[in-house]
Amino acid sequence: MNDITAVSRHMAPEALMDRSALGLAAAAAAIRNGEITSEAYTAALLRRARTLAELNAFITIDEAAVLAAARNADKARAAGLAAPLLGVPLGVKDSYLTKGLPTSLGLDSLAHFVPREDADAVRAIKSSGALVFGKNNLVEMSYGLTGHNARYGQVKNPHARGRVAGGSSSGSAASVAAGLVPASLGGDTIGSIRVPASFCGVVGFKPTTGRWPRKGVAPISHTLDTTGVFARSVEDCILVDQVVTGEQAAESSDGGYGLKGARLAFAPRQFLDLVDSEVETRFRSVVRRLQDAGAEVVEVDLGDDFNALVQTATWGIFAHETMGAISEFLRRHDIPTTFEAIYEGLKPQLRQAWGHIVLPGGAGATSAEAYQTALDVSRPEIQRRVNTAFVSHGALVILQPTTPCTAPLIEEQATVHIAGQEVSYLALANHTISASSVGLPGINLPVGLSRAGLPIGLELDAPLRSDRTLLALARKIEGVLGAEPTAI
């Protein structure tokens, strides 16, 4: 507390607000150019994090350690060191191992576990000069879509405290939306980046599965798990993608935001079937704006059984791989617990769900035969269907509303209301699951607010390994639609 006060006692509240509003690239440039110091910037973010502690966006923030790291970054800059993210604090989902900083995986039993190593993605951002600001709250073991955690509290939506933030990377999305950090690392297996990004009104990027390193991140499914990032702009996602992968961004063909010649697809029968009317109206308005900007938008049909095929195969793979994936992760990284102990310590609703679909003897467990069919038959068929958009129709991306509704009320998160129907909260991932099923890269872009002031998201899904092209196109679309406010 005293360290922060010493740094910021002469700073007006407006200055603190201005600094917290900086995006990742802007903050990195300001520090690099000597316009601000890492220490002053970090102190401003810490002060804001304390002010907005009610959001429950973070489980752990070591204030003294992050301020010391900021001072060291300032010394390194003064000595001539140049690095892409030098001195910029980032959030990290608490499913990532962080050397010297507690990593709970969202569990009470691991509240004091301090890893001896960093996850590969954390090592990459540190190597670029970034600081780990703190560990973001999440759903226990990343198993949920609403942001509820029995031990560390419900993550609240910065746009409306009575609404969920989405999950499982709930704290990561909320912390970026609230201006606590300019970016945060998250994870996505079924929609755990894109769903909270949509609900919180930030950009959320899920790379092609396997393109970003996953070592050192608590898993659910080795087939589906993907690491990724939340930020306030596509430009900032591009910067983190370059840092983590070492790849350069795709060059813009025209150097501007024009969409002339870009062919985009959407599948109304598959992705507008169960959607709130306000979300559908905004989505169709966005499509018209993209057409007005020169894009060619083609309608495709992925088949009557597409959604059922995706849901059955993907959820089956998801649940079947959980026990083995977690057990191997605990063993490999010498984490002081067991799968059985984790299961016994879960909140009742989650323990019941694991007993039903994760444990081999569960009534809803996927058999070995059904699992193999999902891998060998269903996934290739899903890929063949989406290729009708990408190959047969020449589309760069498939467009859809990221979530079928805006953020539900916290007290109504077990069953949610979509288009007048009461459905399971799992329906929040009805749209994100299709990209996850076959590992496609996807990104959520904020496209405005509902009448109630809640964010609405647009998802772009692209062909496998076309991440740089997706990011370049997303940046153009963001330019056409205009930046939406995210800091609260």
pLDDT at 248: 78
Confidence class for position 17, pLDDT limits 50, 70, 90:
very low
pLDDT at 179: 97
Query: Which residues are bridge partners to 399 per DSSP?
Result: 266, 460
* Average of per-residue pLDDT values in the chain: 94
Q: Confirm whether 143 is domain-assigned.
A: yes
CATH number of the domain that 54 lies in? 3.90.1300.10
Q: Is the pLDDT of residue 53 over 50?
A: yes
Confidence class for position 399, pLDDT limits 50, 70, 90:
very high
pLDDT at 485: 45
pLDDT in tens, 298-308: 999 999 999 99
Q: Confirm whether 270 is domain-assigned.
A: yes
Confidence class for position 256, pLDDT limits 50, 70, 90:
low
DSSP labels for 102-159? ---TT-GGGTT---SS--HHHHHHHHTT-EEEEEE--SGGG--SS---TTT-PPEETT
d(CA 341, CA 3): 39
Residues with catalytic annotation?
A: 93, 168, 192
16-41: average pLDDT: 91
Confidence class for position 19, pLDDT limits 50, 70, 90:
confident
Q: Confirm whether 486 is domain-assigned.
A: no
452-471: average pLDDT: 98
Helix or strand holding residue 198 (H, E): helix 194-200
Per-residue exposure over 353-363, b if at least 16 CB sit within 10 Å of its own CB, e if not: bbbebbbeeee
pLDDT at 315: 98
What is the number of structural domains in the chain?
A: 1
**What angle in degrees, to the nearest 10, is found between the helix axes of 467-481 and 277-292?**
100
418-423: average pLDDT: 97
Confidence class for position 7, pLDDT limits 50, 70, 90:
very low
d(CA 166, CA 147): 5
73-82: average pLDDT: 97
| Residue pair 381/330 in contact by the 8 Å Cβ criterion | no
Confidence class for position 258, pLDDT limits 50, 70, 90:
confident
Q: Confirm whether 487 is domain-assigned.
A: no
1-14: average pLDDT: 39
Looking at the chain, the whole-number percentage of residues with pLDDT higher than 90 is 92
Q: Confirm whether 2 is domain-assigned.
A: no
Q: Confirm whether 268 is domain-assigned.
A: yes
Looking at the chain, the whole-number percentage of residues with pLDDT higher than 70 is 93
Q: Confirm whether 210 is domain-assigned.
A: yes
Judged on CB neighbours under 10 Å (0-12, 13-18, 19+), 369 is exposed
Supply the range of the domain harboring residue 426: 8-481
Q: Is the pLDDT of residue 14 over 50?
A: no
Q: Is the pLDDT of residue 18 over 80?
A: no
Confidence class for position 412, pLDDT limits 50, 70, 90:
very high
pLDDT in tens, 194-252: 999 999 999 999 999 999 999 999 999 999 999 999 999 999 999 999 999 998 766 54
Confidence class for position 255, pLDDT limits 50, 70, 90:
very low
Q: Confirm whether 70 is domain-assigned.
A: yes
78-105: average pLDDT: 98
26-52: average pLDDT: 97
Q: Is the pLDDT of residue 257 over 60?
A: no
pLDDT at 484: 56
pLDDT at 249: 66
- First CA to last CA distance, the chain: 23
d(CA 158, CA 171): 10
Confidence (pTM): 0.95
